Amino acid sequence: MDLADLKSGRLGPEDYARNFADAHPPLSRAQALIEAERCYYCYDAPCQTACPTGIDVPSFIQRVAQDNVRGAAEAILTANPLGGMCARVCPTEVLCEQACVRNTHESKPVEIGMLQRYAVEGHLARPGKPLFTRGMPTGRRVAVVGAGPAGLAAAHGLAWRGHDVVLFDAAAKLGGLNEYGLATYKVAGGFAQREIDWLLSIGGITPRLNCRLGRDITLDGLLSEFDAVFLGLGLAGVNALGIAEPQLPGLRDAVDFIAELRQSAPEIVAVGRRVVVIGGGMTAVDAAVQSRLLGAQQVTMAYRRGIDGLSASIHEQHWAQTHGVTIRCWARPLAVVAEGGVLKGMRFAATRLESGKLVDTGEQFVIEADMVLRAIGQTYEAEPAGAGLELKSGRIKTDADGQTSLARVWAGGDCRAGGKDLTVEAVEHGKRAAQAIDRHLGLANARHPDTTEATHG
């Protein structure tokens, strides 16, 4: 294999430092104060309704305008204990900011996400007295399996209410998607772990890492040891292309590529000169853009339907295109092209819609590539949790509070059926499940005066 086609160290140190720095630098104090003054502080604000975690947006922005960073952070973190990460990675342009009434007057909403980031990160930099005091110990123990956004939110809510939480995760670090599944430039500076350190500082949460459900622990075993269990398992399976996929250098899953880059210095991560990313979602965009930032000369995102079918937001699509990524729609993968064990490209069938059904046109074409990244979605793996959980559309079926078909078992995040696979939604799942578990344990009202339901989510 020609090592010039798939290699690391394509760029210089300055290039890597620039390319993988914060994609959007934080607001300065002066910028934040000016932006906060643009808010109308609406009563019954539509932006708050649009937030899956129900953050009191006008309240926190008003506190920013008053230069009260701690108060603003308290308003945010009360509703969303991972408010800093959500400010960085959630599609605020289609959630709270799309609902901003400023849109109807000047077509430019208040930059809610940037203000939220300013407040939370400002507080984490100078935390002072803890915002939340843990309740009196209840003596109840809850297992949380999966330390992604849903599991972290559940663990924090349960510990805050005085329960002892053991937080299990199969990986070597806490964070789940926040630590392993997001583009480096979105969470530069080790922010994911800094936020987790803050979250754990409430006390009562014991991490157990490198501990996999179905291998090291079982759901039945947890139920015999703990009073309740929360499952925030995410989506561990990766969809196959549905074609022959030989074992070739350079043919890999996009999620593994992204995780490797998050856990490594960018200069040691190999990338092709010509990269094809198959898929149309945020993972595809993150993989494609980062391939370009690593030094790939040509990067193409190939998607089998039209541009309207892309699950990546318009903002993400524009981000990809401005970084030199070509988005090629109406392209269904047919075959991996290889010679002598060397990846040469992908063969595609041109597609079109016919009476609402996707069909091949009969035309075929090849996109040359020495690296192909699969980003066509992930699936819930049911085997580790066992057959006792009822599923819906391939994911865990729950009620509105996350209660599953099994007694004393709740679930949330991407593994839960009916969601939108958003970080902020996963946080809300964990938060609501913590409340429901607390009610189930019969201790919702056994609080010291500083820990009432009115003061924390």
**How large is the C-alpha radius of gyration of the chain?**
23
Nearest to 319 by CA among 277, 285, 275: 285
Share of the chain above pLDDT 90, in %: 88
Does residue 453 surpass a pLDDT of 50? no
β-strands 271-272, 6-7 pairing:
antiparallel
Q: What is the pLDDT of residue 452?
A: 39
Does residue 21 surpass a pLDDT of 50? yes
pTM: 0.93
d(CA 443, CA 445): 5
The neighbour count for residue 378, using CB atoms within 10 Å, is 20
Q: What is the pLDDT of residue 174?
A: 97
Phi-psi region of 356 (alpha: psi -120 to 50; beta: other; left: phi over 0): left
Q: What is the mean pLDDT of residues 167-194?
A: 95
Q: What's the DSSP call for residue 62?
A: H
Q: pLDDT grade, residue 450 (50/70/90)?
A: very low
What's the whole-number average pLDDT of the chain?
Answer: 93
Q: What is the mean pLDDT of residues 400-426?
A: 95
User: For 363-372, what is each residue's pLDDT tens digit?
Assistant: 999 999 999 9
Q: Which helix (H) or strand (E) holds 104?
A: helix 103-106
Q: pLDDT grade, residue 168 (50/70/90)?
A: very high
User: For 267-299, what is each residue's pLDDT tens digit?
Assistant: 999 999 999 999 999 999 999 999 999 999 999
Q: What is the pLDDT of residue 1?
A: 40
User: For 86-141, what is each residue's pLDDT tens digit?
Assistant: 999 988 888 999 999 998 777 799 999 999 999 999 999 998 899 998 999 999 99
Count CA within 13 A, CB hemisphere, residue 96.
Answer: 26
Contact (Cβ atoms closer than 8 angstroms) between residue 243 and residue 336: yes
Beta partners for residue 434, in sequence order: none
Q: What is the pLDDT of residue 456?
A: 45
